[in-house]
Amino acid sequence: MAAQSPPLAGRVAIVTGSSRGIGRAIAIHLAEHGARLVINYTTKSSDAELVAAEINELPAITGNGPRAIVVQANVSVPSQVKSLFDGAEKAFESPVHILVNSAGVLDPKYPSIANTSVEDFDRTFSVNTKGAFLCSKEAANRLKQGGGGRIILLTSSMTRGLKPGFGAYAASKAAVETMVKILAKELKGTGITANCVAPGPIATEMFYEGKSSEVVEKIAAENPFGRVGEVRDVVPLVGFLAGDGGEWINGQIIPVNGGYV
């Protein structure tokens, strides 16, 4: 009996912000399911190269080319987002099938709205909201050429938690959640789905930055499981949405937080 092909074999996926954190874990998970990956970073090339190297050590699925490539791109710059897709199509000689937008920023000072600088507000919306818009816009046009696909945008459970100190961040993610619901309707007839995955607190560098151990313990205690989430709690859902089984899930915001909010 012939071995069954991995569920994402032959499909090309771009994961933005995949040099570390949740994005890194998602990229590796999709690769383990057969996808060919574009590892995206903004500044830390060495981290991105390590992720690509780990994926390229996986057994070959189809063809003799690389399993993963690295492309630098700031998701808030239109020309660089275009280069992200150009790089994928050129390297893999295929249209992109899956976009996972994981790139994001959070002000580690956790300022109140009254104390949030205009510069920090603009940066938050530039990366989190404009970046999601530009990536979705490019994907909505590029994925059509492949006869359908998946757009998965990472947002945050903070759009429901509404904790003090997260005003700009939560607002930037809430805008993305509104946008994806409309995008899913606009993509009618293309076979492309568009959804948001909204993690709760996840143990990554971005989560720990600026927090004392006491604050981390308090956040963990607020969860019914008594712990902070791990990347392993998020990636299976993204993998499911990226595959054929996720076809009937569209225009949804799916919290992954263990009941945190």
For 159-179, the pLDDT digits (tens) are 999 999 999 999 999 999 999
Does any domain span residue 168? yes
Q: What is the mean pLDDT of residues 193-201?
A: 97
Q: What percent of the chain has pLDDT over 90?
A: 88
Per-residue confidence band for 2, with pLDDT thresholds at 50, 70 and 90: low
Q: What is the mean pLDDT of residues 35-48?
A: 95
For 112-148, the pLDDT digits (tens) are 999 999 999 999 999 999 999 999 999 999 997 667 7
> Which pTM value belongs to this model?
0.95
| CA-to-CA dists, residue 5 to 9, 10, 185, angstroms | 6, 10, 32
- 169 assigned to active site: yes
227: domain CATH number is 3.40.50.720
* Catalytic residue from among 110, 169, 208, 260: 169
pLDDT at 235 over 90: yes
Q: What's the number of domains the chain is made of? A: 1
What are the tokens at 22? 């949740």
Amino acid symbol at 55 = I
CA 72 – CA 254 distance, rounded (Å): 29
Range of the domain at 222: 12-256
Does any domain span residue 31? yes
Per-residue confidence band for 229, with pLDDT thresholds at 50, 70 and 90: very high
CA 212 – CA 207 distance, rounded (Å): 11
Average predicted confidence (pLDDT) for the chain = 94
Does any domain span residue 62? yes
Does any domain span residue 7? no
pLDDT for res 135: 98
Does any domain span residue 178? yes
Does any domain span residue 1? no
CA 42 – CA 177 distance, rounded (Å): 23
Q: What is the mean pLDDT of residues 146-165?
A: 93
